[in-house]
Amino acid sequence: MTRSVDLAAAEAMDAADPLRAMRDRFVLPQGVIYLDGNSLGAASPTVFAEVDIAARQEWGEGLIRSWNTAGWFDMPLELGHRIGRLIGGAAGQTVVTDTTSINIYKALHAAMGLRPGRNAIVAEGGSFPTDLYMAEGVAATRPGARLKLEGVDAPAIEDLIDDTVAVVLINHVNYKSGELRDMAALTKRAHDAGALVVWDLCHSAGALPVELDACGADFAVGCTYKYLNGGPGAPAFIYVAKRHQAEAHQPLSGWWGHARPFAFEQGYDADAGIRRFQCGTQGMLSLRALKGALDVWDEVDMQALRKKSIALADLFIELVEARCAGHGLALESPRDGSKRGSQVSFTQDNAYAIMQALIARGVIGDFRAPSTLRFGFTPLYIGYADVWKAVDVLANVLATGAWKDPRFAVRAAVT
Ligand SMILES: *Cc1c(COP(=O)(O)O)cnc(C)c1O
């Protein structure tokens, strides 16, 4: 059954959209349809204002006094509490610090320490690569530790979880296909085998409602520069369930994780709570950009966000299949919206050149090797008419063969 949505119908859907007003909270260049908020979220005036205050007033005038007077020292925890609302983690369990890669290292190391006598780390062969690189790094520091991968050592992750496994590292939403994992079921499966789970929320924080506490999660990590719009290289977050905090030891025992950093004592004594997952001095200008971005998130109803996210992506799939048939595009993402994050991927042998041709026409998505065209749907600033126009451009690029222009074959460093 196909319903045929034309531009006027898509505009009518925008007019009826309860999240429509959120679009005005972002700055986006004219003539751009931005379908890459899953890699780098859009900027907002609130962010610029926060960065300006932090730089000109707090740093420029307040100088060193601002560590106390501007709340700088506690900013990683304060922002962690606010992200907690978006990922279903009660206060005191999330801190904004370091990068996702570094936080994966800390979480895996801490989880292995909580399960002495078990030496396996389970992860996905199709994981975002840095997760696996960091897992290799952790395994290399622990004699006897080994990595078992879904898709390599067994077809399904469930089949790898047994009583030798200390920790399972899972991407909540796969970065390439957009497949959404069942957090409650997999957490339970791991716990039944006595293992812990580290959830990587890079493509689900700010993309859909997440319920860490309700699922009994142990650890989680995630980016703030993707769906949360914290800015390029904005610091990541790490969540550690309250019940694990006192015994969870992360290996980067820097002074910001110490119970009394300004006592300048000899000997490391970890803070009793989530602070122990910090390492050194945190980047205040980046944190302030994130604070501005979270001001926008404070107004967002996550259920409404999820509903619109699925509707945008469903419309995109429907229109691509109706208008771009015969050009070798194959849907890589789950068709069922309830099993998908907030992105849609298609494979095509010439995906890189096609994406470059789209970007040259103002439709910005991204390419993931070897053959994925990836489109992110960020319901706060993308509407139904944007989806319609993006597919119109894609259909045109394919029908005319415009992507065959040799300049679109030249690979850039960042794709
Ligand atoms: C984007 C992403 C990362 C990025 O890690 P950084 O340390 O911020 O570079 C890690 N894991 C997943 C699943 C991602 O999608």
CA dist., res. 258 & res. 401, Å (int): 59
Q: Tell me the angle at which helices 384-400 and 302-323 cross, rounded to the nearest 10 degrees.
A: 20
CA atoms within 13 A on the CB side of 105: 19
C-beta 233 within 6 A of ligand 1: no
Atom of ligand 1 nearest to the CA of 225: 8
What pLDDT was estimated at residue 414?
86
Per DSSP, which regions of 46-110 are E strands?
94-96
Active site residue 374: yes
What pLDDT was estimated at residue 3?
59
C-beta 119 within 6 A of ligand 1: no
Atom of ligand 1 nearest to the CA of 200: 13
- 122 - beta bridge partners? 148, 168
Task: Give me 340's structure tokens.
Answer: 């998908």
CATH number of this structure's domain 49-298: 3.40.640.10
CATH class belonging to 7-30+301-409:
alpha beta
Phi, psi of 194 (to 5 degrees): 85, 10
- The DSSP line for 143-190 is TT-EEEEETTTBSSGGGG-STTEEEEEEESB-TTT-BBP-HHHHHHHH
Q: Compute the CA torsion angle 373, 380, 172, 239 (nearest 10 deg).
A: 140
Mean pLDDT of 182-209: 98
The helices-and-strands tally (H runs, E runs) of the chain is 13, 13
What pLDDT was estimated at residue 413?
87
Average pLDDT, the chain: 97
**pTM reported for the whole predicted model:** 0.97
Mean pLDDT of 127-144: 97
Place of tokens 């944190």: 287
Closest C-alpha residue for ligand 1 atom 15? 202
Phi, psi of 280 (to 5 degrees): -120, -165
> What confidence tens digit (pLDDT) does each residue in 314-330 have?
999 999 999 999 999 99
Task: Give me 328's structure tokens.
Answer: 């070798």
Residue extents of the structural domains in the chain: 7-30+301-409, 49-298
C-beta 132 within 6 A of ligand 1: no
C-beta 97 within 6 A of ligand 1: no
